[in-house]
Amino acid sequence: MENLVWTVGVNIVKPEQIIGRSLIVTLQGELDLHTAPPLKERLDRLLDEEPGLRHLILDVGEVSFIDSSGLGVILGRYKTIEQRSGKLVFVGCRPQVKRVLEFSGFRKIAVFAKSPQEALEMVERT
Amino acid sequence: MKPKNWMKLEFPSESPNVMFARTAVAVFASQLDFTLDELEDIKVAVSEAVSNCVIHGYQGSVGNIVLEVAYDEQFISITVEDFGKGIPDIDQAKEAGYSSIPEERMGLGLVFMHEYMDEVLIDSRVGEGTKVLMKKKAPAPVS
């Protein structure tokens, strides 16, 4: 298990995990125009460095806000995951985040889990 | 109708100010009896409007954004104005998925504003800037 550390915007660092062919990223704070670019860069680098990664599990339990800039970054990375025939899973959405994700149609392309463990079980079933 | 309260902010189109703007509006709007969900919806609308100024209004250069909020018994009104490029075709800009700049916002900025606010009016002149007025029905104010 490899632990990597990074920061969303000005928020507290959270370690990432690679378990099997899944990348689990724990995000914290607010995902918007300002915080989206470093997230995009970090996710792209991880996915490039680990071509065997297939699934992206985003633990957003500590994400208090997301707008279309945040959505756009996730959608862009989903395209990479889709090319690898992988799954995108959101863990622990707060109400505002869930509303925005559902309104923008993410239910069609992602699944929602209550915990990282449940997310891993979901992707292992594919 | 004369507003019961109002505020006005002006700031440069730097991306950290997007969060500042939506948070300031949410704090101001909390003077009314909006639910937490409604305040979050207002934050999204403001975030999208201010992001539009940064991305489309000034396109990498820095200019001023003016944010005004006022409320009366009926509505909270939020105006977001930039003095940048302007929108050549507003109807085209409103189409979900449309974006004039290849950027990853899914073309959803205006769609979210229309979804989360009760009224959205856009006044834009090419080369002069864009003014977006968003209104949301006000609940009875907290006395």
The distance in angstroms from the start CA to the end CA of chain B is 19
Quick one: tokens of A5?
């550390």
> pLDDT by residue (tens digit) across B61-106?
999 999 999 999 999 999 999 999 998 887 777 765 666 655 566 6
Q: CA A32 to CA A11: how far, in whole Å?
A: 13
- ipTM of the complex as predicted: 0.90
* DSSP single-letter state for residue B133: E
Q: What pLDDT does residue A1 have?
A: 31
The helix (H) or strand (E) run that includes residue A62 is: strand A55-66
- Tell me if B15 and A33 make a contact (CB, 8 A cut-off): yes
> pLDDT by residue (tens digit) across A14-62?
668 888 999 999 998 999 999 999 999 989 999 999 999 999 999 999 9
Q: What pLDDT does residue B99 have?
A: 63
Query: Which chain B residues touch A65 with a CB distance below 8 Å?
Result: 22, 40, 43-44, 47
Three-class SS of residue B4? Answer: coil
**What percent of chain A has pLDDT above 90?**
73
Residue B60 — very low, low, confident or very high, per pLDDT cuts 50/70/90? confident
More confident position, A63 or A10: A63
Note if B125 is an active site residue: no
> pLDDT by residue (tens digit) across A100-113?
999 999 999 999 99
Closest chain A residue to the Cα of B110, Cα to Cα: A68
Q: What is the mean pLDDT of residues B51-57?
A: 93
Q: What is the mean pLDDT of residues B40-47?
A: 97
User: How high does pLDDT run on average in chain B?
Assistant: 90
> pLDDT by residue (tens digit) across B83-92?
999 988 877 7
The answer for residues whose C-beta is within 8 angstroms of residue A51's C-beta and 6 or more apart is none
Nearest by CB: A33 against B54, B106, B115: B54
Q: Which long-range contacts (CB under 8 A, 24 or more apart) does B113-119 make?
A: B113/B45, B113/B48, B113/B49, B115/A103, B116/B41, B116/B42, B116/B44, B116/B45, B117/B41, B117/B42, B117/B45, B117/B78, B118/B75, B119/B75
Looking at A50-64, A69-83, B26-40, B81-95, which range is the least confident one?
Answer: B81-95
Nearest by CB: B108 against A30, A34, A71: A71
Quick one: tokens of A21?
């062919």
